[in-house]
Structure 1
Amino acid sequence: MTIDPPTNATPHPPQSSAPLYSPARVRELLTQHGLKPTKSLGQNFLIDGNILRAIAEAGLAGSPAQGTPVLEVGPGLGVLTREITTRGAHVTALEKDQKLRPVLAETLAGLDVKVVWGDALEFDYSSLPQGTRVIANLPYYITGVLLSRFMHAPAIVSATVLVQKEVGQRLTSRPGEDNYGFLTALASLYGSVKHVRDVPKGAFFPAPDVTSSVIRLDFDRSRPPPPPALLKFVEAALAYRRKTLRNNLRMFGQDGAAIDAALAAGGLRPDVRAEDVPLDALRDLAGRLGVLG
């Protein structure tokens, strides 16, 4: 990991008066610096000002007017970064693609932004200041892993992120619905999830293959973090969510007779499917099976 000094140390004017999010300005920047969006890094740049404003507003809602610490993963050309900083936030932008250094030096000049160059999967999230909010257009190929990292980082209180619509549906679904799974349960263990809005393909350059959604996750840090044993149990229970819960727990190594007794004691059918079981019932079942110690 390397860290650039705050870009407000070397202000200089932009090369064009067009809004940074305009398609013409994005193409100009890419051409000027000899760049092309890198598909393997999930680079789809936002070019819709209304969407940008909606993400920034949702991410900073309920925060102090000035000085809120924000982490942005994958700032790209700095479009969303600028929108966040103009609202008084102190932004740490985590970027992997070193080719974007001259672009961000230009687009973030004069702003209160610290750019950290490195892989989001290797970043030490425990180093963030308390009360940090994540606001980001996440690389789709590592969305699930990053959301898990955010949940496990006590300093992060919320994450407002652009994700694939399918992932957004998984995060906001309920037991018994088609998209319910471990990611849904994990988010519920740490807090709550709100769907902000869907985002059409045309809001990006280049346009992705899928529709996106803006999702806000709020993490309740007043709760004790869920014990690792419970996380492993819930993950195993929902590993094959259309199979019966009994079969999943048998694959987890639980005794069949003990599972039958625990299901009956919890008022659950022996053939209940994993995706139909509420989180509280899974927690109760884990206790009956002695998983939590």
Structure 2
Amino acid sequence: MPDDLPPTTADASAPIAPLYSPARVRELLNQHGLRPTKSLGQNFLIDGNILRAIAEAGLAGSPAEGTPVLEVGPGLGVLTREIALRGAHVTALEKDEKLRPVLAETLAGLDVKVIWGDALNFDYASLPQGTRVVANLPYYITGVLLSRFMHAPAIISATVLVQKEVGQRLASRPGEDNYGFLTALASLYGSVKHVRDVPKGAFFPAPDVTSSVIRLDFDRSLPPPPPELLKFVEAALAHRRKTLRNNLRMIGMEGPDIDAALEAGGLRADVRAEDVPLDALRTLAQRLGVLT
């Protein structure tokens, strides 16, 4: 990916107007001839209480100084600065090169490394062990990024701003309406906590939807789920309106084998996968020979 920002020498403790002030955000944009880019999901936070809540939730349980933090889409550096001033070592991934002069100004003197390029192309295996993600994620790639975080052993938690519907999906349980593969994936890697909802007015420009702050904690003491199990669970949950039996038949499994495995697990023939606990799905995968 392209080079990061050159080192800065300004004093980070020097007085600076709050970056989350709506007037300050407009001033920065006008000063550098910028407009928020909708295609990049640029909605800048302008609520100091929300910023502090995100930073506190993201760094909770970590040492006061030196925690490695990854941020995706720093934008104007509002959340970045809040995290760095708490003593974290921040690596920020930014795709929009037009923000170079803004971030050079707003992050001057702070322990922040900005890497310019697409977060979808970043090597998450290169992160230091114990990295925490704290980010206002671009909504259009939220699911993909969350999956990358889960699969990166160095990342131990992700505290992220997402669409409220995505947050509800992540925090749902088997049998609830929002339960799906992303929910199951998060549960296979750890736990999910809903921190708070965020109104549209906390952003400039205001998005079309309400947001939520969600914290995911990944249990790296456990072996990662095998790829065969992930594929099985994804196939089982692929079509919500279909039964588990029909979804498994769509990937080539034989009806009589599925029926026998369901009966052995005490599951109804017409059960849907979103109503089945993960442990029961894992056992079903073993009975069907997917797992050894």
- For normalisation by structure 1, the TM-score amounts to 0.97
Partner of 2:148: 149
Partners in 2 of 1:99 and 1:6 — Cα distance? 16
Give the count of matched residue pairs.
292
- Cα shift at 1:241: 2.1
2:239 is paired with a residue whose SS is coil
Partners in 2 of 1:143 and 1:211 — Cα distance? 15
- Cα shift at 1:202: 0.2
Alignment gaps of 5+ in structure 2: none
Partner of 1:3: 3
Partners in 2 of 1:181 and 1:13 — Cα distance? 44
Partner of 1:62: 61
Q: Which amino acid aligns with 1:4?
A: D
Partners in 2 of 1:112 and 1:208 — Cα distance? 30
- Counterparts of 1:102-117 in structure 2, within 5 Å, are 102-117=101-116
Partner of 1:240: 239
Alignment gaps of 5+ in structure 1: none
Partner of 1:137: 136
1:111 is paired with a residue whose SS is coil
Q: Which amino acid aligns with 2:119?
A: A
Q: Which amino acid aligns with 1:135?
A: V
Establish whether residue 44 from structure 1 lines up as the match of residue 48 from structure 2. no
Establish whether residue 272 from structure 1 lines up as the match of residue 271 from structure 2. yes
Tell me if structure 2 keeps the 8 A contact 1:4–1:116: yes
Partners in 2 of 1:288 and 1:13 — Cα distance? 59
Percent identity (aligned):
87
Partner of 1:215: 214
Partners in 1 of 2:12 and 2:170 — Cα distance? 41
Partner of 2:196: 197
CA shift in 2, pair 1:17/1:88, >3 Å: closer
Tell me if structure 2 keeps the 8 A contact 1:67–1:88: yes
Task: Summarize deviations over 1:139-196 as a string: whole Å, max 9, x none.
Answer: 0000000000000000000000000000000000001111000000000000000000
1:225 is paired with a residue whose SS is coil
Q: After the TM superposition, list the runs of 4 or more consecutive aligned residues in structure 1 that deviate by more than 4 angstroms.
A: 12-17
Partners in 1 of 2:4 and 2:289 — Cα distance? 50
Deviates more, 1:271-280 or 1:73-82: 271-280
Q: Which amino acid aligns with 1:117?
A: W
1:197 is paired with a residue whose SS is strand
Partner of 2:169: 170
Partner of 2:252: 253
Q: Which amino acid aligns with 1:272?
A: V
Task: Summarize deviations over 1:199-255 as a string: whole Å, max 9, x none.
Answer: 000000000000000000000000000000000000000001231100000001111
Deviates more, 1:67-76 or 1:16-25: 16-25
Partners in 1 of 2:31 and 2:24 — Cα distance? 10
Partners in 1 of 2:55 and 2:76 — Cα distance? 16
Tell me if structure 2 keeps the 8 A contact 1:16–1:25: no
CA shift in 2, pair 1:131/1:15, >3 Å: closer
Task: Summarize deviations over 1:5-24 as a string: whole Å, max 9, x none.
Answer: 564x3326899943110000
CA shift in 2, pair 1:22/1:15, >3 Å: farther
Partner of 2:127: 128
- For normalisation by structure 2, the TM-score amounts to 0.98
Q: Which amino acid aligns with 1:149?
A: R
- Cα shift at 1:268: 0.1
Q: Which amino acid aligns with 2:3?
A: I
Partner of 2:227: 228
Partners in 2 of 1:284 and 1:25 — Cα distance? 56
Partners in 2 of 1:25 and 1:16 — Cα distance? 14
Q: Which amino acid aligns with 1:159?
A: A
CA RMSD of aligned residues (A): 1.4
